Structure 1
Amino acid sequence: MARERHPKKEVEAVLRELEALGWTVIKRNGKGHAWGLLRCPSNSAECRGGEYCQMTINSTPQNPSNHAAKLRSKAFGCIELDEKDMGSGDDAEI
Protein backbone atom coordinates (compact mmCIF):
# COMPACT_ATOMS: atom_id res chain seq x y z
CA MET A 1 0.00 0.00 0.00
CA ALA A 2 1.34 3.41 -0.98
CA ARG A 3 1.82 6.01 1.70
CA GLU A 4 -0.41 9.04 2.06
CA ARG A 5 0.74 12.07 0.09
CA HIS A 6 2.01 15.13 1.93
CA PRO A 7 -0.44 18.06 1.56
CA LYS A 8 2.28 20.44 0.32
CA LYS A 9 3.57 19.69 -3.18
CA GLU A 10 7.09 21.03 -2.49
CA VAL A 11 7.53 18.75 0.51
CA GLU A 12 6.02 15.77 -1.33
CA ALA A 13 8.51 16.22 -4.19
CA VAL A 14 11.47 16.10 -1.78
CA LEU A 15 10.02 13.08 0.04
CA ARG A 16 9.74 11.18 -3.26
CA GLU A 17 13.30 12.15 -4.20
CA LEU A 18 14.65 10.91 -0.87
CA GLU A 19 12.56 7.72 -0.99
CA ALA A 20 14.23 6.95 -4.33
CA LEU A 21 17.58 7.18 -2.50
CA GLY A 22 16.44 4.69 0.13
CA TRP A 23 15.11 7.00 2.85
CA THR A 24 11.92 5.89 4.62
CA VAL A 25 8.89 8.08 5.24
CA ILE A 26 6.95 7.06 8.33
CA LYS A 27 3.50 8.65 8.51
CA ARG A 28 2.50 9.58 12.05
CA ASN A 29 -1.03 9.35 13.29
CA GLY A 30 -2.27 11.59 16.04
CA LYS A 31 -2.32 15.18 17.05
CA GLY A 32 0.43 17.70 16.71
CA HIS A 33 2.40 19.46 14.04
CA ALA A 34 4.39 16.46 12.87
CA TRP A 35 3.03 14.83 9.72
CA GLY A 36 5.68 12.13 9.79
CA LEU A 37 9.31 11.14 10.10
CA LEU A 38 12.05 10.84 7.51
CA ARG A 39 14.56 8.13 8.39
CA CYS A 40 17.96 7.32 6.88
CA PRO A 41 18.37 3.88 5.29
CA SER A 42 21.53 3.20 7.31
CA ASN A 43 22.16 2.85 11.00
CA SER A 44 25.87 3.47 10.78
CA ALA A 45 28.04 3.91 13.87
CA GLU A 46 30.00 6.54 11.93
CA CYS A 47 26.93 8.63 11.23
CA ARG A 48 25.36 10.47 14.15
CA GLY A 49 26.90 8.14 16.74
CA GLY A 50 25.04 5.05 15.57
CA GLU A 51 21.61 6.65 15.82
CA TYR A 52 19.37 6.73 12.81
CA CYS A 53 19.37 10.03 10.98
CA GLN A 54 15.80 11.07 11.55
CA MET A 55 13.91 14.28 10.80
CA THR A 56 10.42 15.47 11.57
CA ILE A 57 8.22 16.32 8.61
CA ASN A 58 5.84 19.15 9.48
CA SER A 59 2.26 18.86 8.30
CA THR A 60 1.67 22.55 7.59
CA PRO A 61 4.99 24.39 7.51
CA GLN A 62 4.82 28.19 7.32
CA ASN A 63 6.96 28.12 4.22
CA PRO A 64 6.71 24.76 2.40
CA SER A 65 9.60 25.56 0.04
CA ASN A 66 11.96 26.32 2.93
CA HIS A 67 10.87 23.22 4.85
CA ALA A 68 11.42 21.04 1.78
CA ALA A 69 14.85 22.59 1.20
CA LYS A 70 15.86 21.99 4.84
CA LEU A 71 14.78 18.34 4.69
CA ARG A 72 16.74 17.82 1.47
CA SER A 73 19.82 19.63 2.81
CA LYS A 74 19.89 17.64 6.06
CA ALA A 75 19.40 14.37 4.17
CA PHE A 76 22.24 15.18 1.77
CA GLY A 77 24.42 15.94 4.81
CA CYS A 78 24.20 12.28 5.78
CA ILE A 79 27.55 10.53 5.30
CA GLU A 80 25.82 7.52 3.74
CA LEU A 81 25.02 9.44 0.56
CA ASP A 82 27.81 9.73 -1.92
CA GLU A 83 28.29 12.23 -4.75
CA LYS A 84 26.47 10.18 -7.38
CA ASP A 85 23.35 9.99 -5.21
CA MET A 86 23.26 13.77 -4.93
CA GLY A 87 23.09 14.17 -8.68
CA SER A 88 26.38 16.01 -9.04
CA GLY A 89 26.89 14.51 -12.48
CA ASP A 90 30.64 14.26 -11.88
CA ASP A 91 31.64 10.60 -12.04
CA ALA A 92 35.40 11.20 -12.20
CA GLU A 93 37.46 9.60 -9.46
CA ILE A 94 39.86 11.74 -7.47
Structure 2
Amino acid sequence: MRRRHPNKEIEEALRHAEAQGWRVEIGGSHAWGRIYCPYDDKTCRCGEFCITSIWSTPANPTNHARAIRRVVDRCSRRRTEQDD
Protein backbone atom coordinates (compact mmCIF):
# COMPACT_ATOMS: atom_id res chain seq x y z
CA MET A 1 0.00 0.00 0.00
CA ARG A 2 1.37 3.39 -0.94
CA ARG A 3 1.52 6.52 1.18
CA ARG A 4 -1.43 8.87 0.68
CA HIS A 5 -0.98 12.24 -0.99
CA PRO A 6 -1.47 15.08 1.55
CA ASN A 7 -4.05 16.85 -0.66
CA LYS A 8 -7.50 15.25 -0.82
CA GLU A 9 -8.25 16.27 -4.43
CA ILE A 10 -4.90 15.01 -5.72
CA GLU A 11 -5.31 11.76 -3.76
CA GLU A 12 -8.69 11.24 -5.44
CA ALA A 13 -7.11 11.84 -8.85
CA LEU A 14 -4.38 9.30 -8.02
CA ARG A 15 -7.00 6.74 -7.04
CA HIS A 16 -8.73 7.40 -10.37
CA ALA A 17 -5.42 6.74 -12.15
CA GLU A 18 -4.86 3.52 -10.20
CA ALA A 19 -8.38 2.35 -11.06
CA GLN A 20 -7.43 2.75 -14.73
CA GLY A 21 -4.33 0.60 -14.23
CA TRP A 22 -1.76 3.36 -13.80
CA ARG A 23 1.16 2.77 -11.42
CA VAL A 24 1.92 5.38 -8.74
CA GLU A 25 5.52 5.60 -7.54
CA ILE A 26 6.41 7.87 -4.66
CA GLY A 27 9.69 9.78 -4.61
CA GLY A 28 12.01 11.12 -7.24
CA SER A 29 13.70 14.41 -7.79
CA HIS A 30 11.62 17.54 -7.15
CA ALA A 31 8.28 15.71 -7.04
CA TRP A 32 6.10 13.82 -4.57
CA GLY A 33 5.95 11.00 -7.11
CA ARG A 34 5.02 9.98 -10.64
CA ILE A 35 2.30 8.03 -12.38
CA TYR A 36 3.06 5.60 -15.18
CA CYS A 37 0.73 4.44 -17.94
CA PRO A 38 0.03 0.69 -17.90
CA TYR A 39 0.60 0.46 -21.66
CA ASP A 40 4.12 1.98 -21.85
CA ASP A 41 3.55 2.46 -25.57
CA LYS A 42 5.74 4.65 -27.79
CA THR A 43 2.66 5.96 -29.62
CA CYS A 44 1.21 7.23 -26.38
CA ARG A 45 1.67 10.96 -25.64
CA CYS A 46 3.72 11.77 -28.73
CA GLY A 47 6.35 9.10 -28.07
CA GLU A 48 7.18 10.39 -24.57
CA PHE A 49 5.34 7.48 -22.88
CA CYS A 50 2.76 8.27 -20.27
CA ILE A 51 4.68 9.49 -17.27
CA THR A 52 3.42 12.41 -15.24
CA SER A 53 4.95 14.07 -12.19
CA ILE A 54 2.84 14.53 -9.08
CA TRP A 55 3.70 17.61 -7.04
CA SER A 56 3.38 17.63 -3.26
CA THR A 57 2.38 21.29 -2.92
CA PRO A 58 1.24 22.68 -6.28
CA ALA A 59 0.19 26.33 -6.45
CA ASN A 60 -3.36 25.24 -7.32
CA PRO A 61 -4.14 21.69 -6.12
CA THR A 62 -7.53 21.65 -7.86
CA ASN A 63 -5.96 22.36 -11.24
CA HIS A 64 -3.19 19.82 -10.61
CA ALA A 65 -5.75 17.12 -9.74
CA ARG A 66 -7.71 18.02 -12.88
CA ALA A 67 -4.54 17.76 -14.98
CA ILE A 68 -3.78 14.30 -13.57
CA ARG A 69 -7.27 13.10 -14.50
CA ARG A 70 -6.90 14.66 -17.95
CA VAL A 71 -3.66 12.76 -18.62
CA VAL A 72 -5.26 9.48 -17.55
CA ASP A 73 -8.51 10.02 -19.44
CA ARG A 74 -6.82 11.21 -22.63
CA CYS A 75 -4.32 8.38 -22.88
CA SER A 76 -4.35 7.62 -26.62
CA ARG A 77 -3.80 3.87 -26.19
CA ARG A 78 -6.65 3.60 -23.67
CA ARG A 79 -9.02 5.51 -25.94
CA THR A 80 -8.05 3.28 -28.88
CA GLU A 81 -8.89 0.16 -26.88
CA GLN A 82 -12.23 1.62 -25.79
CA ASP A 83 -13.16 2.28 -29.43
CA ASP A 84 -12.55 -1.36 -30.40
Q: TM-score, normalised by structure 2?
A: 0.83
Cα distance between partner residues in 2 of 1:71 and 1:65: 10
Cα distance between partner residues in 1 of 2:41 and 2:67: 22
Aligned residue-pair number: 82
Cα distance between partner residues in 1 of 2:43 and 2:49: 11
In terms of mean alpha carbon deviation, does 5-14 or 74-83 score higher?
74-83
Q: Per residue, is there more helix in 1 or in 2? A: 2
Contact 2:5/2:56 (<8 A) preserved:
yes
Unaligned runs of 5+ in 2: none
Unaligned runs of 5+ in 1: 86-92
Instruction: Tell me which of 38, 42, 49 is aligned to 1:45.
Output: 42
- AA in 2 matched with 1:17: H
Identity %: 42
Instruction: Tell me which of 69, 79, 84 is aligned to 1:82.
Output: 79
- AA in 2 matched with 1:3: R
